[in-house]
Structure 1
């Protein structure tokens, strides 16, 4: 069923209530995580872009704003790359849903889907020196 002309708010609602909970059967934890991502995004749009939640449209949730939102999560809120990527995953999931429900929004969805996840800093691998290996071998009972 195509929802031609569906508003952003109506599609968010149907994505949560019909798609995520019903069709996909996602865990309550995943749905809560997605809900939190959208709460943060909507709050950011209100506070940083002066867009009231009831007035948010697809043009407001464009690639540039989503990238700026992700930067805000990382820099201002101090979120790890893993957390930022989880928020991005929620947005991309919604974009995929919108592309299926409203094909006329496919270009919008593709723009969001093309956002690359943040890279996580990987800890440097430390190796034992030959002296440290010898000390460990000598510490063992033979």
Structure 2
């Protein structure tokens, strides 16, 4: 196969580089695949090019910029989605740049296409009082209620992503003394999260009640099938709705599965836990990502201002005589 053919490099990229070299998750591969399906359809429809005979030099930064415009204007994609598509394209051209020197400059120009700025989103999270009421809302005397209580408690205390909760198996739990759970997140990176005795005992009771074996999924629906992220979202929304009805002066924000994760991060931050440890619990690759919680938390901002304001005493720059002379100078200035 001609090494200048686009199909040759895209096949190598998806079959070898992403799964074996980079070790990215199947979810990421599927997301990148979807981007290239949309992109190649666009190339075929707009430029009438034969995809199977496409050369790597047939695509340049102008075509990609036009594609990004099409995503926003024609497909009505959000800026966030547009940036995700660009990230997939950037990933491929970074790969290509190191393997095909003949298109090094072309790749550089494509890699210089910037992300579009997105409006800053407000992080939605529960107060400590709200999270307590939410977790205790299920009726634990019923099997469904006990499952939902365990689910909500686990989501909050571990700050796990919804997919991590859906994929959770018994063999990921270490219960007893110094209890913890091992979660596998983005990029197949694992992290170990310590859990309280309350959650440990609840999980132990839950596993025994539902007779869950070592390699089984923990959270299931009534058909004994694995809960999906949509199923988890449905359960969460059901109890948020109940809380809104029971406590009309609270629960005013718009919530999602991620709100449990946001809440845990915010509450740890308010308790004085270092951002580095919060980063490790959340599974962020960089503390810069975690810093968003410090930037948006009003309690932390107020605390910092109060602690440091006493040291910010403004000193007079001029004496009274100097100020009089300065005013005289300014008034006589022509």
TM-score (norm 1): 0.80
Return closer, same or farther for 1:52/1:85 CA change in 2, 3 Å cut-off.
same
- Verify the 8 A CA contact 1:8 1:56 in the aligned structure 2: yes
Superposed structure 1 runs of 4+ greater than 3 Å apart: 3-6
Q: Give the whole-Å Cα distance in 2 for the aligned partners of 1:50 and 1:4.
A: 21
Structure with more helix by fraction: 1
Q: Report the equivalent of 2:102.
A: 104
Q: Give the whole-Å Cα distance in 2 for the aligned partners of 1:16 and 1:33.
A: 11
Q: Report the equivalent of 1:45.
A: 43
Q: Report the equivalent of 1:65.
A: 63
- Count the aligned residue pairs: 123
Q: Report the equivalent of 2:31.
A: 33
Residue segments in structure 2 that go unaligned for 5+ positions in a row: 123-248, 250-334
Please state how far the C-alpha of 1:4 moved relative to its aligned partner.
Answer: 8.5
Structure number with the bigger relative contact order (C-alpha 8 A, sep ≥ 6) is 1
- Verify the 8 A CA contact 1:74 1:81 in the aligned structure 2: yes
- Verify the 8 A CA contact 1:85 1:118 in the aligned structure 2: yes
- Verify the 8 A CA contact 1:4 1:102 in the aligned structure 2: no
- Verify the 8 A CA contact 2:57 2:103 in the aligned structure 1: no
Cα root mean square deviation, aligned:
2.0
1:113 aligns with 2:115: no
Please state how far the C-alpha of 1:121 moved relative to its aligned partner.
Answer: 2.5
Q: Give the whole-Å Cα distance in 2 for the aligned partners of 1:4 and 1:96.
A: 20
Residue segments in structure 1 that go unaligned for 5+ positions in a row: 125-138
- Verify the 8 A CA contact 2:2 2:8 in the aligned structure 1: no
Larger gyration radius, structure 1 or structure 2: 2
Q: Give the whole-Å Cα distance in 1 for the aligned partners of 2:32 and 2:121.
A: 28
TM-score (norm 2): 0.35
